Structure 1
Amino acid sequence: MNPHRRTALVHACMALATGLGLVPAANAQPRYDPGASATEIRIGNTMPYSGPVSAFGTVGKAEAAYFDMVNAEGGINGRKISFITLDDGYVPSKTVERVRKLVEQDEVLAVFGLVGTSHNAAVQKYLNARKVPQLFISTGATRFGDPKNFPWTMGWQPTYQAEGRIYAQHILASNPNAKIAILYQNDDFGRDVLKGVMNGLGEKAQGQVVAQTTYETTDPTVDSQVVSLKASGADTFINIATPKAAAQAIRKAADIGWKPAQYVTQVSNSVPMVMKPAGPENALGVISIAYVRDPADPAWQASKEYLQYQAWFRKYYPGGNIEDPSNVIGYSMAQTLAQTLKQAGDNLTRENVMKQAANLDMTLPMLLPGVAIKTGPNDFAPVKGMQPVRFNGKVFEPFGPVLNGQ
């Protein structure tokens, strides 16, 4: 046979075999960036396992427990997740140090789930410069949903500004002449929620906000701030604080006989972490927002979603508090990352991981009905829906429709 005809015939047969899936096409070969291989995907994380907001450390433990389950069931596309999680003590400089180690020494494929607005901001430029995904981070600051300026950073939860606007809208609807006092954490988290409140109040903000005061996470108490807010004559109190300070503020208001309408941000609407330490009787009627099912609420506990969550919890995180919604958040965030990696298939480059993160359309079992995960190339805010909730002395009860605060 003519050698040229033989070569052409071989090429034709190879093309046919490729088309039939008998041999892999060249572009279907696995692709790996640092942190990924045929057997492993390394994911980096920092958490405040110590320090003033160590209560949030349970989020990282829940995430680790979820990946333990994934690995026990065979991993993602046959690859085990190596979840490297380090303590940053809720100190931004330590977050920087830990993240550099994760990227430069541990060579993780992506960093995931970092807690804290200032802490994520401290590493955002570094990670974007190195083109390392900063995925599904645990903060609602708007700067983490900006694909034009930070294409390697994506938040997860609803934004703090949207949350603040929802509180303002509820106040204007329920008490149009409210006199509002605001306590807020003196950092990007506190200022972001405050901005949402002020934007939501609009032209009424200047007249209705009669007092504002801040606190530092290192302050032993917020008692003096609450006393000064009561002295303003306010009948409405917006408590923009992390769990320890939020609980102190609710309790102190009761101790001094101040009984305003109260709002607390979603980062501090945990019954075991905040309402019980504050005294449930003191927190009666507190309003917040939620986007995950409250695991302490009997209304969910007969559902298949909760029973699945309960079975996972008992097996993989038996030392945790099953009633703490922070664990539901860790569980749900880990599910979001797992789906992203599953979609990435054998193309485990950092670029493709970000591409898949920006191509999600899913529901998760422990999100509230009506709340979903949806992203796009120009939409880096996965969770948008927020359900207003009110504390009834035992659990937070939903009321009204799911809102987005936009």
Structure 2
Amino acid sequence: MQTAASHSSALRRALAGLILGSSLALPAWSQILVGQTAGITGAVASSVKEATDGAKLWFDAVNAKGGVNGQKIELRQLDDQFDPKIAVENAKKLIDQGVVSLFLTRGTPHNQAIMPLLAEHKIPLVGPSTGAMVLHEPVNPWVFNVRAPYQREAERAIRHLSLIGIERIAIVQVDDTFGADAVVGALKGFAAVGRQPVAHLKYDRAKPDFAPLMPTLKQANPQAVLYIGSGTAVVDGMKALRASGSRAQLVTLSNNASAGFIKGLGDIARGTIVAQVLPYERSMSAPIVKEALALASAKGQEGVTPAMLEGFVSAKVLVEGLRRAGKDPTREKLRAALEGIGKLDLGGLDLSYTPTDHSGLDFADLSIIDADGKFRR
């Protein structure tokens, strides 16, 4: 029979166990969880890795100095294989795990698919890795863009080609919401210079097949072809064009501005024009670039790519929001903090958020791949 003394002793041991268990759990509570769903495998794997590596440069630097308001950032990643349906499933899992923000989600259809979850769970999406206008207009109170829209860079590309005397331009676009969005900008560019595309072709995102498109392109005889699509699909499309005998100027958007994309192109990479939405990644005159290069060098990495720089800048924006949100930030506190940023100097690069404008940066430029497989401006 258990005596009062033995019962009291057992109770003390149980309480001690609970206290010990709680003390062991405290470090987890002191972390800020951030969630990312992206194509870690699949068509955009290389650029996703580069963007995430860039974000980790800043997260690691912040954590090494004690984190944000004494709390360290943990980035939880789930692979959606560049499939919008899986992206939604992953986003739900991350939300259930208690992440304070979704971050750097790759792909236009993917971001569109998770947008209903943002309002439902009152959770911010920071730095979506897409320039789709639907994320900019109308303003979504839970979406905080960092990079400029695809439409702006597509329009810039067409205007540039016209300026250098290229008149016969074709468009090959992916048949999805990303393609439909970006091509609006391209067509604005054509209208601005009083021209129309000599051919405008589409391909299936799920099963890209460029062989059927080549006869039409060959007959149109373009001087340049703007490819609107992602990763390996665009690589395959450009290779198919070269195999058809065309020497047309190859052009694509910033979502393909990665070292992995250049590697995929191989021998045909040289001379390809790729739009950019951030300053030149080797320009030491830009403080944001200088900072990223220094952190990469400290980790033994050789330089940064445009994709890495996009991830780096997005991480800086998120960290600034978390800092302003205070200790133990909630999702709603983070949203309010980001919206209250106004104008933020990221290092020679000004970002702006207000309650009526979540566009972030307004920067679009063009680069060309040189003989060494590097982007040049």
TM-score, normalising length: structure 2: 0.82
Q: Deviations over 1:144-177 (max 9, x none)?
A: 12465x211222211011122212322343337x
Picking from 250, 267, 285, the partner of 1:262 is 250
Task: Measure the CA separation in 2 of the matches of 1:308 and 1:255.
Answer: 42
Distance in 2 separating the partners of 1:311 and 1:204 = 42
Equivalence map 1:81-160=2 (5 Å): 81-104=73-96, 106-146=97-137, 148=139, 150-160=140-150
- TM-aligned CA distance change 1:69 to 1:186, over 3 Å: same
**How large is the RMSD of aligned CA atoms in angstroms?**
2.9
Which residue of 198, 205, 208 maps to 1:210?
198
Larger relative helix fraction? 2
Q: Go from structure 1 to structure 2 and tell me whether the alpha carbon gap of 1:129 and 1:181 turns closer, same or farther (over 3 Å shift).
A: same
**Matched residue, 1:325:** 306
- Do the aligned partners of 1:42 and 1:83 also contact (CA within 8 Å) in 2? yes
Partner residue in 2 for 1:309: 292
Q: Which residue of 1 aligns with 2:361?
A: 383
User: Structure 1: which 5+ residue stretches go unaligned?
Assistant: 1-36, 399-406
Q: Which amino acid aligns with 2:317?
A: T
Distance in 2, matches of 1:388 and 1:324, equals: 14
C-alpha separation between the residues in 2 aligned to 1:269 and 1:72?
A: 29
Q: Quote the Cα distance in structure 2 between the aligned partners of 1:141 and 1:306.
A: 25
Deviation at 1:391, TM superposition (A): 3.1
Percent identity, aligned pairs only, is 24
Residue type of the alignment partner of 1:167: A
CA distance in structure 2 between the aligned counterparts of 1:170 and 1:285, rounded to whole angstroms: 15
Q: Is 1:292–2:294 an aligned residue pair? A: no
Between the aligned partners of 1:362 and 1:269, the Cα distance in structure 2 is 25
Secondary structure in 2 aligned to 1:175? Answer: coil
Check 1:195–1:306 CA distance in 2 against 1; reply closer, same or farther (3 A cut): closer
Q: What is the rounded CA distance, in whole Å, between the counterparts of 1:226 and 1:54 in structure 2?
A: 27
Partners of 1:101 and 1:248 lie apart in 2 by 33
Paired residues, number: 348
Is 1:63–2:71 an aligned residue pair? no
Structure showing greater relative contact order (alpha-carbon pairs closer than 8 Å, 6 or more residues apart): 2
String of CA shifts for 1:258-292, please: whole Å, max 9, x gaps: 1223321111133x322343245x34433332233
Consecutive unaligned residues in structure 2, runs of 5 or more:
1-27
Q: Distance in 2 between matches of 1:203 and 1:80?
A: 49
What is the TM-score with the length of structure 1 in the denominator? 0.77
Q: Which of 45, 50, 72 is matched with 1:54 structurally?
A: 45
Amino acid in the other structure paired with 1:390: I
CA distance in structure 2 between the partners assigned to 1:160 and 1:113 by the alignment = 16
Shift of 1:363: 3.2
The structure-2 alpha-carbon separation of the partners of 1:137 and 1:386, relative to structure 1 and needing over 3 Å to count, comes to same
1:273 and 1:346 map into 2 onto residues whose CA distance is 38
Distance in 2 (CA, whole Å) between partners of 1:184 and 1:313 is 34
Deviations along 1:354-397, one digit per CA (max 9) or x if unpaired, are 122223323334xxx6x432222211111111123233333333
Aligned residue identity for 1:161: Q
Does 2:338 match 1:357? yes
Instruction: Tell me the equivalent position of 2:207.
Output: 219
1:178-216 residue CA offsets vs partner (Å, 9 max, x unmatched): 2221111121111111111112222877x6212122223
Judge conservation of contact 1:41–1:109 (CA < 8 Å) in 2.
yes
Pair 1:340 & 2:321 matched? yes
Q: Is the 8 A contact 1:179 1:235 kept in 2?
A: yes
Contact 1:247–1:274 under 8 Å retained in 2:
yes
Of 265, 273, 278, which aligns to 1:278?
265
| Cα distance in 1, alignment partners of residues 129 and 324 from structure 2 | 22
Q: Is the 8 A contact 2:159 2:193 kept in 1?
A: no
Please tell me whether residue 397 in structure 1 is matched to residue 376 in structure 2: yes
Q: Note the 1:190-209 alignment, pairs <5 A.
A: 190-202=179-191, 208-209=196-197
Whole-angstrom distance in 1 between the partners of 2:214 and 2:313: 34
